[in-house]
Amino acid sequence: MTNSAGGLRADDEPCRSDSASGGRRLRDFFRNLFLLRERIGKVVNAKTWGISNAATSLYRSATLHRQRVVVVTGSVGKTTTTRAVLGVLRGHAPEWVHAGDNCFASVGWNLVRQWMSQPFAVLEVGIGGPGQMPRYAASLRPDVVVMTALASDHVGRFPDAQGLWEEKASMVRSLGSDGIALLNGDDHAVLRMAGISEARIVTFGLSADCDMSAREPLYRAEGTRFRLVGDGIDAIVEARVVGRDAVRALVAAAAVGRLAGIDPAAMLTRLEALPAAPGRMQPMRLRSGATAICDDFKAGNETVHAAIDWLEAIAARRKIILLGSLFRPGKPRGEKYAAVGRRVASFADRIVLFGRRARLYDHGFAALSDAVPVDRVRSIDGAVRLLENVLQPGDVVLLKGRGEEKLSRIALRLAGDPVDCPIPFCTLENVTCQECPHARSGLLFQRACP
């Protein structure tokens, strides 16, 4: 006799129950230990920055004439761009690019771990407040700076938008006359940095006016086709990444590749082989035949609207969106949520609202058709149960929320991955559910029950 829960005989139920309880306790113990280790690591990373910064400066003095340093910075798109640049220069992007910190002492460690024998070192640099970027610039002394974009979710840490601009611009300002600044030609605030340095300026983006550009993009759920034009290249790229920001990252990487003298044919092959970064417009094929787009690493206003614009632009049987909370939406908060609601209501075939702040989107649904279902779920389990019954082949579902909600768990489970971590709000910033050692408990249950 079997039961639907685990396929065990009825007389095995006590063992299953005891083992499950023991497995949960064991998993909770190791998860809490893992969380503690990560928190301690964050504190150590911040507290040792002064020592690390001095050591980084000395290390950079030793490598100044044998290794060129490429710094990628901005408000959004840094990790995807860093992965793309490394992919073009070396043929692959190491896991630490998306799994490691981009600030404080980690920046120096990320430089050293690339070894001075490499002709190029590529670093993502992020900031948490005023005065930090000039310190990074002084110790790293970059040869190339890639400025991705400026976004509103960073403004709150500065007196105003101009304060943020000045902070970010200090990295470009540090370049000498032999340096190169790669600027996002689609971002007017970034373009303003062209006149603050003696460095050579190279623009990249989706506009035909850029020195390196992506033309005629065809956005699809499984990737993007575009024409790469610039610096003697005019070629079609069949990329595995999706979304405008991801395409722009590939264009920036192509610009760096040309500056580094990478063979155009090899560069195009590497661009096409680059997978999406985990949690950043990451396509995932589901058992139902539908496709999920996991974009749950960050949910600032600009990234939310960019993801929504992409969903509207693609062809799909049905376009479904699951919305979690916004990250630092700014004031008035209610209007920020309502603006997202209005945008989604204009084209979505189904809307799923996740979490306790979901009601804030309701103010944007005034013009929503009665034919468009709006579902509300409070948990990962609830979302999985709903979508299992809803999704069909050809559907595309966009999962968009702040990183702590870890909405990728929904797609992983719908794809057959036994992720069952119950944490509703996870503080592990750079640990994705695909890679988290405590996201799955099946092995613990099996080992507890002989």
The position carrying tokens 């490499």 is 118
CATH class name, domain 49-273? alpha beta
| Residue-wise pLDDT tens digits, 379-394 | 999 999 999 999 999 9
3-state secondary structure of 397: strand
Give the per-residue pLDDT at 225: 98
Which range has the worst mean pLDDT, 142-151, 206-215, 414-423? 414-423
Residue 444: pLDDT above 60? no
CA dihedral 71, 76, 77, 79 (to 10 degrees): 60
Give the per-residue pLDDT at 4: 35
Q: What is the mean pLDDT of residues 189-199?
A: 96
User: Who has greater pLDDT, 77 or 439?
Assistant: 77
| Residue-wise pLDDT tens digits, 211-222 | 999 999 999 999
Give the per-residue pLDDT at 151: 85
Residue 437: pLDDT above 90? no
Give the per-residue pLDDT at 182: 98
Instruction: Name 396's Cβ contacts closer than 8 Å, sequence gap at least 6.
Output: 221, 290, 291, 292, 293, 311, 314, 316, 317, 318, 319, 320
Give the per-residue pLDDT at 21: 63
Give pairs for 414-422: CB < 8 Å, separation 24+.
414/286, 414/287, 414/288, 414/290, 414/292, 414/384, 414/387, 414/388, 415/284, 415/285, 415/286, 415/287, 415/292, 416/287, 418/442, 421/31, 422/380
User: Who has greater pLDDT, 98 or 134?
Assistant: 134
Residue 210: pLDDT above 60? yes
Do 376 and 272 form a contact (C-beta atoms < 8 A)?
no
Alpha carbon distance 313, 186 (integer Å): 19
Give the per-residue pLDDT at 93: 83
Through-space distance between the first and last CA atoms of the chain, rounded to whole angstroms: 19
| Residue-wise pLDDT tens digits, 49-62 | 999 999 999 999 99
Give the per-residue pLDDT at 167: 96
Alpha helices in 174-291 (DSSP H): 188-191, 244-259, 264-273
Residue 2: pLDDT above 70? no
Residue 448: pLDDT above 60? no
DSSP 8-state class, residue 436? -
| Residue-wise pLDDT tens digits, 61-79 | 999 999 999 999 999 999 9
Q: What is the mean pLDDT of residues 162-184?
A: 97
Taking residue 21's Cβ as centre, other Cβ atoms within 10 Å add up to 12
User: Who has greater pLDDT, 138 or 443?
Assistant: 138
Do 293 and 281 form a contact (C-beta atoms < 8 A)?
yes
Give the per-residue pLDDT at 183: 98
Q: What is the mean pLDDT of residues 391-418?
A: 96
| Residue-wise pLDDT tens digits, 262-271 | 999 999 999 9
Q: What is the mean pLDDT of residues 5-18?
A: 40
Q: Would strands 282-285 and 291-295 be described as parallel, antiparallel, or unpaired?
A: antiparallel
Do 449 and 422 form a contact (C-beta atoms < 8 A)?
no
Residue 20: pLDDT above 80? no
Q: Which two tokens stand for residue 199?
A: 């460095």
* CATH pick for 282-417 out of 3.90.190.20, 3.30.50.10, 3.90.245.10, 3.10.350.10: 3.90.190.20
What DSSP letter does each residue of 114-175 carry, written as one string?
Answer: T-TTSSEEEEE---SSTTHHHHHHHHH--SEEEE----GGGGGGSSSHHHHHHHHHHHHHT-
3-state secondary structure of 316: coil
For residue 350, what are the β-bridge partners?
320
Residue 297: pLDDT above 50? yes
Sign of the four-CA dihedral 81, 269, 186, 197: positive
3-state secondary structure of 103: coil
pLDDT interval class at 13 (50, 70, 90): very low
The position carrying tokens 């943020």 is 164
Residue 422: pLDDT above 70? yes
- Percent helix, strand and coil across the chain, each to the nearest 5: 45, 20, 40
Give the per-residue pLDDT at 57: 97
